[in-house]
């Protein structure tokens, strides 16, 4: 799974972002079970936010006559999630990766579609920053959210 190819167009960028939202929703399952207290609630809230984005994209793409990529039954995690520390690390990674797809959508869209993509990029960046703070990771922010370091 990688962001849309530059110049691929708005529909391709939105379809790629939809695949990222599917993966983010799936990842918050293993993340949430390893967290407790406020962090567990934050994981639930993050999953709900990704579900709202997914639903918005499904409506947008189907309304525009675009192809909807299928959700997968499961996804391969980049590393085992065995404790709170690894769950927090995965939450940061998921938000950073999803931000990359929305960054590509910002570049591929204009007008209201660009505003939607920018809002999603900002949401992912804020959640990634909050997860870094919860994990005690520094720096808390990255200079260009959604861009590989």
Quickly tell me which residue has 């861009």 as its tokens.
147
**How many domains would you assign to the chain?**
1
Mean pLDDT score of the chain:
94
Tell me the per-residue pLDDT of 74-99, one tens digit each, with 9 for 90 and over: 999 999 999 999 999 999 999 999 99
DSSP assignment string, 17-84 = HHHHHHHHHHHHHHHHHT--HHHHHHHHHHHHHHHHHHHHHHHHHHHTTPPPPPPPS----SS---SH
User: For residue 140, is it within any domain?
Assistant: no
Tell me the per-residue pLDDT of 96-140, one tens digit each, with 9 for 90 and over: 999 999 999 999 999 999 999 999 999 999 999 999 999 999 999
Give the span between the Cα atoms of 40 and 64, in whole angstroms.
36
How much of the chain, in percent, has pLDDT values that exceed 70? 95
Tell me the per-residue pLDDT of 21-57, one tens digit each, with 9 for 90 and over: 999 999 999 999 999 999 999 999 999 999 999 999 9
User: For residue 148, is it within any domain?
Assistant: no
**CATH at residue 31:** 1.20.1260.10
User: For residue 1, is it within any domain?
Assistant: no
pTM for the predicted model, two decimal places: 0.92
Residue range of the domain that includes 78: 10-135
User: For residue 4, is it within any domain?
Assistant: no
User: For residue 106, is it within any domain?
Assistant: yes
């Amino acid at each position: 799974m990688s962001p849309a190819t530059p110049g691929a167009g708005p529909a391709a960028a939105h379809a790629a972002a939809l695949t990222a939202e599917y993966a983010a929703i799936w990842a918050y399952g293993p993340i949430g079970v390893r967290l407790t207290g406020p962090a567990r609630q934050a994981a639930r809230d993050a999953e709900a936010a990704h579900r709202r984005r997914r639903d918005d994209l499904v409506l947008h793409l189907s309304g525009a006559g675009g192809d909807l990529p299928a959700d997968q039954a499961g996804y391969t995690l980049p590393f085992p999630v065995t404790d709170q520390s690894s769950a927090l690390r995965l939450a940061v990674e998921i938000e950073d990766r999803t931000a990359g797809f929305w960054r590509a959508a910002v570049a591929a869209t204009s007008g209201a579609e660009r505003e939607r993509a920018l809002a999603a990029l900002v949401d992912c960046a804020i959640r990634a920053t909050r997860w870094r703070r919860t994990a005690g990771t520094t720096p808390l922010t990255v200079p260009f959210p959604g861009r590989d370091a």
